[in-house]
Amino acid sequence: MFPVVISAIENDDDRFFIAQFYEQYYPIMKKKAYELTHDYSIIDDLIHDAILKLMKKIPTLRSLGYYKRTTYIVYTIRSVAINHNRQEAVKSKKSYLGMSDDLMESIPDPITIDEVCATNEDYRELGEAIEQLSERDRSLLYNKYNLELSDTEIAEIMDIPINNVRVYLMRARLRALKILTRRGIVSENQ
């Protein structure tokens, strides 16, 4: 198996960690990358690129628990796949139907339709509340708070003008707080 190939050359924790990583998360990375690109021929390259990105975050990855690490990896491969789509769109001079400025505005905000009754302010409910957000708000917040990306990086990955990143983030935060308020996790007078 390839992890042995890697580790046999020199016993190194990080390399072994990444090799394990590749083996363990390849299936989900392949699936998520395909969901965005619909092209199996480039999946391995995208996974490779994602792993290279993750290699720079080894201390962070080590610090995360299994589930959070899984999310981290999936969001990383997603960002790589989205970036690939954007680059391909530029190459083919077609407009990229990603998170463009107009499209961002056109995505409905589920907060207006979701009404969840809950009163317990606990950790689990906080996570549930975030799930009520639209996908783009979740992505924005995840990129900001979990992946700790800069505004420039967020702008690139989500294909939005850099000047708008802060505004979108602020709106996403407000919407998240609104959900938390509705669920009784944050009181209205706070």
Partner 1 sequence: MKINDKPTDENTLREEYEEALIKLAMSSFAEREGQRLAQENEALKNDPFYQPSAEAERKFARSMNRRYYKQKAKNFLETSYQHFHKVAVVCFITIILLATSTLAVEAVRIKVLNFFVNVQQQYTEIRIKEKSGEPSLEEKDIVSKNVPSNWKNDYAPLNIPAGYFINNSVNGDNFKTIEYANGRNEIIIYQQFDEQVISNIDTENADSINEITVQGHKGLLINKDGERTITWSNDVKVFLIMAENGNLQEEDMIRMAESVTLIK
* For partner 1, the closer CB: 103 or 138: 138
The two structure tokens encoding residue 17: 């960690």
Interface of this chain with partner 1, residues 44 to 63, rule: CB under 8 A: 44, 47-48, 51-52, 55
Q: If you search the block for the tokens 């198996």, which residue do you land on? A: 1
Give min distance, CB of 110 to partner 1, in A.
14
- Longest Cα–Cα distance of the chain, Å, equals 61
Task: Collect all residues with Cβ–Cβ distance below 8 Å to 151 and sequence separation of at least 6.
Answer: 162, 165, 166
Under the binding rule (CB under 8 A), the answer on residue 131 touching partner 1 is yes
Among 58, 89, 103, 130, the residue binding partner 1 under the rule CB under 8 A is 130
Give min distance, CB of 141 to partner 1, in A.
6
Read off the DSSP letter of residue 124: H
Stretch that binds partner 1, among 84-92, 95-103, 117-125, 155-163 (CB under 8 A): 117-125
- DSSP reduced 3-state for 189: coil
* For partner 1, the closer CB: 51 or 86: 51
* For partner 1, the closer CB: 10 or 105: 10
In angstroms, the Cα distances linking 78 to 81, 82, 87, 108 are 5, 6, 14, 21
Say how many residues touch partner 1, by CB under 8 A: 55
* For partner 1, the closer CB: 28 or 162: 28
Helix-strand-coil split of the chain, %, nearest 5: 75, 0, 25
Calpha distance 77→46 (Å, rounded) = 7
CB-side neighbour CA atoms (13 Å) of 21: 26
Among 41, 67, 119, 188, the residue binding partner 1 under the rule CB under 8 A is 67
Interface positions with partner 1 (CB under 8 A): 1-2, 5-6, 9-10, 12, 15, 18-19, 22-28, 30-31, 44, 47-48, 51-52, 55, 65-72, 74, 123-131, 138, 141-142, 145-146, 173, 176-177, 180, 185-186, 190
